[in-house]
Structure 1
């Protein structure tokens, strides 16, 4: 163990995480309601929305894996960020519709679109939970792997530390405390990425030196955009876009906005910052390629690690805090999202007795501790099995993407009946599983989504939608003070017809 490096990274990380935790605690003292826990009180400012969307979207992959992509394929790295941005912009198209109906989770959207059905609610909730839970567990492993190599601290204690840190940002106030701490982390991440990327360019002798030493096919435009090969780029498209469109973490930020207009503005600003993150990965990747072009086939895996080994201790400490902030922002968001589904959707589907708001918040906190414990144990005992959790991203998208997006579009004029949603979801799972078993080169999520679309359209031929004047899912009415009535999760608005 390098005691000096460990102390420097630990001190820098402690300062950043401590400030984030302090912000989380202070905010939670003024925001204690269930709405604050679930949807940020539906009052998060635009700048907080922008940075929490950015901090959620930019995880450890951008900081490490994307540097390797830029090392091997240059400007092609921007496709990855671009597909995330496209997904966010599509969500922005529906932001006003989503916000004005005061949803809290994706399963609640499904119940408004297709009706109150326990099976549908359960399947949707589990499908939504899988992805952020996978993020949570894999971020624990990523943190332990990165810092174990640098500091020499064993794997298991680092996961325990990361789990405890994650609790600091969720327990005080749920989404409200997570979003405000994300704002701080997001600002720090932007500043740190500029410093680290700038140092990498300086270390490589400047932009001119990088341009002279990097192969033209990676650097020239527009050739550099295709350096990864169009097959790989298409694989990224089908892997990233559906997952973004069905990721509840992005939708929750829309639900937490003061209005649909502010939700869209927050998404636009965060999209710009996501592309800046791509620029960070590009600069470091090309700088490393210019300085050490002989990493060969291991370049994508070893570029970020090689760079870390070359930087001075002070910058390594900043980079360590940068990694810590990035991972914490992702784990906090993922943890809160999982708990929101478990309490708001799964519990309400099977527990009919009324409980007080205070009791539900208490249950949410205990559930947060339980989910964190399960994820930490899984990360310690079965770190190699986490790939299965990542693979469930495809199944989640195959189940949710088509009935969610087409359901929203159809709801402007029609009430789509429940069997259509079931047909789409069943077809999606069959298509995804079949392609998975056959080992197709094209991501099996593509087959699942195409099958889901075919199932949805075919079911519409047999189960005709009902035309609803004014839309199938009306806006939630407002009281005299202008504040919309709060409803129990999953409940249909007053006056809405049920199937």
Structure 2
């Protein structure tokens, strides 16, 4: 019962802070990008919290239980992606838009914006949906509550939090959530190691492949984990939206360094806790079938199971609060982003371009609970959280990332090439997802990135080379120092 009370009090605290922050929201800039006043420290906190979500807490941890340290290939994709983003962050902040779709229209046209928005909305609602699923599993383990009811509670609380103050409340709480998340996992790590019986017991209870680079499945599945997160990170809308929130270009770039360090520490520690915890339950029929195969959905609850069952009370409480922080901080961001896309990229751009600031904020607040309900429904379409994560990552990584990255690094990319790339990536991902769900092509979600990203990149290059180059006013603002010169010229003309 203590665990339940602590989790409830922490969730109530988050809601309280959100409502106090809501008084500071005056316009869409406050609601969508926190007034563009966010410092490096707060950016690091919110970026780490956004990336470490139920995909890591449940999907990645479950994979670590089943496969060992090779599960970190999923995390490594993000680490490499962040190294690339380090060089893009100042340019992104300099452009000072609101959404990734803003960038797509500015570099290409309104169709790139529309297709990109659709891909982002689909992907991010999927990501939000498995945060709700994670909350349902957490409440089930703690209370025995039906996971469906737990998902409903999580969905409602996240929607309320996000509606109140938008990005302003998210950024305000994520520095606290990030600290709690990091401390909780790092404190739990040595304790779980001791409870598991030390290294000799851990290695004797798990297969030797758990401690190899590629595990028992080999290189292709490992890369199938690497590339979805790599491509997602390069086109990750919430990250770009938070760069737009930075107070200046330097804060945006420095935040990437902090994010790299924070994400590596937390994800390595999280997967290690899952492996150590997995050694405790390596022969438990609740996690392993009689034929030796794993119960995938059960393995994804290993962190929560260990926290609630095997750890000293105080350590268990801290780890469970860290789990709540992980679920909550990611869910609200990935609910905020599609609401921003619909508001900014569809409603404000195509339906009501003359809407007042008050109308825009009110419309976005209305969209948040509606999208939360839609995300809840989406959570019923997949067997495991890892499947949901890989599908969502591929949708963004294949549909948005190639065209977005090309906008910043390839002057020769054309409007038609960018639009065709976004459409190709989105369509191929959707088709393979449907065929997989229908059992027509039982392709593991680890592999969908190959045809989807391949189609998007090839289309981008071929169509661009077959069409006339874009004028300098299209590519200039995206090419480093050129952006400053073009911006100054435009200002002088204005």
Shorter-chain TM range is 0.7 to 0.9
Instruction: State the Cα RMSD in Å.
Output: 3.3
CA positional deviation for 1:9: 2.3
Following TM superposition, by how much is the alpha carbon of 1:377 offset from its aligned partner in structure 2, in angstroms? 5.2
Q: Indicate which of 85, 104, 117 corresponds to 2:98.
A: 104
Q: What is the number of residues matched between the two proteins?
A: 470
2:260 is the alignment partner of 1:271: yes
Q: Secondary structure at the match of 1:94?
A: helix
Q: Does 1:462 align with 2:466?
A: yes
Q: Partner residue of 1:490? A: none
Alpha-carbon distance between aligned partners in 2 of 1:188 and 1:458, rounded to the nearest angstrom: 48
Provide Cα deviations, 1:389-433, integer angstroms capped at 9, x if missing partner.
96354344322222111122235xx6x542222332344356556
Q: Which residue in the other structure is 1:32 paired with?
A: 26
1:91 aligned residue: 85
Q: Provide the rounded CA distance (Å) in 1 between the counterparts of 2:277 and 2:373.
A: 38
Q: Give the TM-score of the pair, scaled to structure 2.
A: 0.84
1:443 aligned onto 2:453: no
The 1:133/1:476 distance shift into structure 2, 3 A limit, reads: same
Determine which of 251, 256, 267 is the counterpart of 2:240.
251
Q: Which residue of 2 aligns with 1:356?
A: 356
Whether 1:262 and 2:262 are equivalent positions in the alignment is: no
- Call closer, same or farther: CA 1:454–1:324 in 2, change over 3 Å: same
CA distance in 2, matches of 1:423, 1:74: 39
Question: Aligned to 1:122, which of 107, 114, 136?
Answer: 114
In 1, distance between residues paired with 2:63 and 2:456? 32
> Could you tell me which of 67, 71, 78 is aligned with 2:72?
78
| 1:198 paired residue number | 190
Q: Which residue of 2 aligns with 1:453?
A: 457
Contact 2:214 2:222 in 1 (8 A): no
SS of structure 1 residue aligned to 2:476: coil
CA contact (8 A) 1:87 1:241 kept: yes
Q: 1:10 and 1:345 mapped to 2: Cα distance?
A: 40
The partner residue of 1:419 within 416, 420, 430 is: 416
Whether the 8 Å contact between 2:37 and 2:245 is mirrored in structure 1 is yes
SS at match of 2:400: helix
CA contact (8 A) 1:134 1:390 kept: no
Q: Which runs of 5+ in 2 are unaligned?
A: 436-440
Helix, strand or coil at the partner of 1:323: helix
Secondary structure of 1:184's counterpart equals helix
User: Is the CA contact (8 Å cut-off) linking 1:99 and 1:255 kept in structure 2?
Assistant: yes
Trace 1:364-403 onto structure 2 (pairs within 5 A).
364-376=364-376, 379=379, 391=391, 393-403=393-403
Superposed CA deviations along residues 349-369 of structure 1, whole A, max 9, x for unmatched, are 322451221221111111222
1:382 and 1:409, CA in 2 relative to 1: closer, same or farther beyond 3 A?
closer
Question: Is the alpha carbon distance of 1:148 and 1:234 closer, same or farther for their aligned partners in structure 2, counting shifts above 3 Å?
Answer: same
Q: Which of the numbers 255, 260, 284 marks the counterpart of 2:273?
A: 284
How far off is 1:90 after superposition? 1.9
Aligned to 1:489: none
Q: Taking structure 1 as reference, are residues 372 and 349 closer, same or farther at Cα in structure 2, changes over 3 Å only?
A: same
Matching residue of 1:407: 407
CA distance in 2 between counterparts of 1:192 and 1:435 reads 38
Q: TM-score, normalised by structure 1?
A: 0.83
Structure-2 separation of matches of 1:274 and 1:182: 14
Q: Is the 8 A contact 2:184 2:322 kept in 1?
A: yes
- Give secondary structure in 2 for the equivalent of 1:464: coil
Shift of 1:328: 0.8
Give 2:231's aligned residue: 242
Residue in 1 that maps onto 2:438? none
2 CA distance for matches of 1:40 and 1:398? 29
Cα distance in structure 2, aligned partners of 1:161 and 1:306: 20
Residue of structure 2 equivalent to 1:171: 163
Measured after TM superposition, the shift of residue 180 of structure 1 is: 1.3
1:188 aligns with 2:180: yes
Measured after TM superposition, the shift of residue 49 of structure 1 is: 0.7
How big is the shift at 1:273? 1.5
Q: Say if 2:340 is the partner of 1:346.
A: no
Q: Say whether the 8 Å CA contact 2:141–2:305 is kept in structure 1.
A: no
Give 1:125 shift. 0.9
- In the alignment, is residue 324 of structure 1 matched against residue 324 of structure 2? yes
Please state how far the C-alpha of 1:184 moved relative to its aligned partner.
Answer: 1.2
Cα distance in 2 for partners of 1:445, 1:382 equals 19
